[in-house]
Amino acid sequence: METRLNSQLLERAVGELSKLPGIGRKTALRLALHLLRKEPEEARSLGESIIDLRDNISYCSRCHNISEEPVCEICSDPRRDKKIVCVVENVKDVITIESTHQHHGLYHVLGGLISPLDGIGPSDIEIDSLVERVRNEEVEEVILALSPTMEGDTTNFYIYRKLSELPVKVTVLARGLSVGNELEYADELTLGKSIQNRIPFN
């Protein structure tokens, strides 16, 4: 629906909203018309929260997770195990892993993956700061929790080599069948890995 809207304000809001991922022009128009029906305070509150989010967000100086404080609440939580550092690609992954309640250590957010095709090299992401942390803090295990993709594997391997001279155990997330998924729908590579890495039944 590439209808011209007879309002510059509406056109602009629809244009901006449809830049968001997964929001097309039709959905953007629906959202804009919804906002028009609401009180001005509601639209203002939404608009300001978006501006404030981007303008005032800050990052933890230690793990590079988002944080209101210089050091984030995970890094400064005395109950977290500082000997285990989980390496993730981005902030979203921290939230996802936290929701499993299975990791009780700290994080290190790379801010991306090595991807030569996209011009992203090791120095563009937080690998040096990870090596520094392992060198200077009492880290005993680094868990590589990157996506099982080409870029994830490349980054895993690069970090593994960088850490190989240091007295630290490097582990990677298990690859295998998805819980609840039927065997026949698993791809061959995943199924193969799950056979190689089979574990004692208990």
Backbone angles phi, psi at 107, to 5 degrees: -125, 165
Specify the residue, 73 or 128, whose C-beta has the smaller distance to a second copy.
Answer: 73
Strand 141-144 versus strand 169-172 pairing type? parallel
Identity of the residue, 75 or 144, whose beta carbon is nearer to a second copy in the bound complex: 75
Burial class (CB in 10 A: 0-12, 13-18, 19+), 193: middle
Q: Which is nearer to a second copy, 5 or 186 (CB)?
A: 5
CB closer to a second copy out of 68 and 81: 68
Assigned token pair, 43: 């639209």
Question: Under a CB-based contact definition with an 8 Å cutoff, are residues 133 and 97 in contact?
Answer: no
Nearest distance in Å: CB 99, a second copy? 5
CB of 23 to a second copy, least distance (A): 8
Closest separation in Å from C-beta 55 to a second copy: 6
> Least Å distance between CB 10 and a second copy?
6
Considering the complex, state which of residue 101 and residue 198 has its C-beta at the smaller distance from a second copy.
101
Alpha-helical segments (H) within 69-122: 91-100
The 3-class SS string of 166-195 reads: CCCEEEECCCCCCCCCCHHHCCHHHHHHHH
Binding site for a second copy (CB under 8 A): 1, 3, 5-10, 12-13, 15-17, 19-23, 27, 29-36, 38, 40, 42-57, 65-68, 72-74, 90-92, 95, 98-99
Minimum distance of a second copy from residue 117's CB (angstroms): 19
CB of 169 to a second copy, least distance (A): 27
Q: Which residue has the tokens 């090791």?
A: 122
Nearer to a second copy, 52 or 137 (CB): 52
Length of the chain: 202
Separation CA 40–CA 119 (nearest Å)? 44
- With H, G, I as helix, E, B as strand and everything else as coil, classify residue 81: strand
- Report the alpha-carbon distance of residue 67 to residue 74 in Å, rounded: 9
